[in-house]
Structure 1
Amino acid sequence: MELYDTEEQQVEAIKDWWKENGKAVIFGAVIGLGGLFGWRYYQDSAIQAREAASESYTSAISVLDAKGADAQADIQSFIDSNSDAEYSVLAAMQLAKAQVEAGNLDEALKQLEWAKAATKDAALSPLLAYRVARIKAEQGNFDAALTELSAIPDESWKGRVAELRGDISLRKGDSDAAYSAYSEAQQAADASRTLQIKLDDLAK
Structure 2
Amino acid sequence: MARDIKDIDLEDEQSDAFIGWWKRNGVSLIAGVLLAVAAILAWNAWQQHKSNQAASASQMYDQLMELTSDFTKLPDEQRNQVSQLANKLADEHGGTLYADFARLIQARVAVDAGDTGTAAASLQQLISSAQNDFVKQVATINLARVQIARKDYETALKTLDIDIPNELKVQQLSARGDALVGLQRLDDARKAYQTALDTAKAQQMPNYGIQLKLDDIAPQEAS
Normalising by structure 2, what TM-score?
0.72
Q: Which runs of 4+ in 1 moved over 6 A?
A: none
Partner residue in 1 for 2:82 = 75
Does residue 164 (structure 1) correspond to residue 179 (structure 2)? The answer is no
- 1:152 Cα deviation after fit: 4.1
Alignment-mate amino acid for residue 32 of structure 1: A
Query: Share of identical aligned residues, percent?
Result: 21
- 1:72 Cα deviation after fit: 3.4
Distance 1:171 1:178 in 2: 9
Alignment-mate amino acid for residue 83 of structure 2: Q
Partner residue in 2 for 1:51 = 55
Counting only pairs closer than 5 Å after superposition, residues 1-204 of structure 1 correspond to structure 2 as 23-65=27-69, 68=74, 70=76, 71-82=78-89, 83=91, 84-85=93-94, 86=96, 87-188=98-199, 189=203, 190=205, 192=207, 194-201=209-216, 202-204=218-220
Deviations 1:144-185 (A, max 9, x none): 111111124322211211121112212211111012112221
Deviations 1:88-136 (A, max 9, x none): 3322221221121111111111112112222222221111001100000
Distance 1:199 1:75 in 2: 36
Distance 2:170 2:64 in 1: 34
Alignment-mate amino acid for residue 137 of structure 1: I
Could you tell me which runs of 5 or more consecutive residues in structure 1 were left unpaired when the two chains were aligned.
1-20
SS in 2 for 1:187: helix
Could you tell me which runs of 5 or more consecutive residues in structure 2 were left unpaired when the two chains were aligned.
1-24
CA RMSD of aligned residues (A): 2.5
- 1:22 Cα deviation after fit: 7.9
Aligned length: 184
Query: Over alpha carbons, which structure has the higher Rg?
Result: 1
SS in 2 for 1:123: helix
Normalising by structure 1, what TM-score?
0.78
Partner residue in 2 for 1:10 = none
Distance 2:210 2:184 in 1: 18
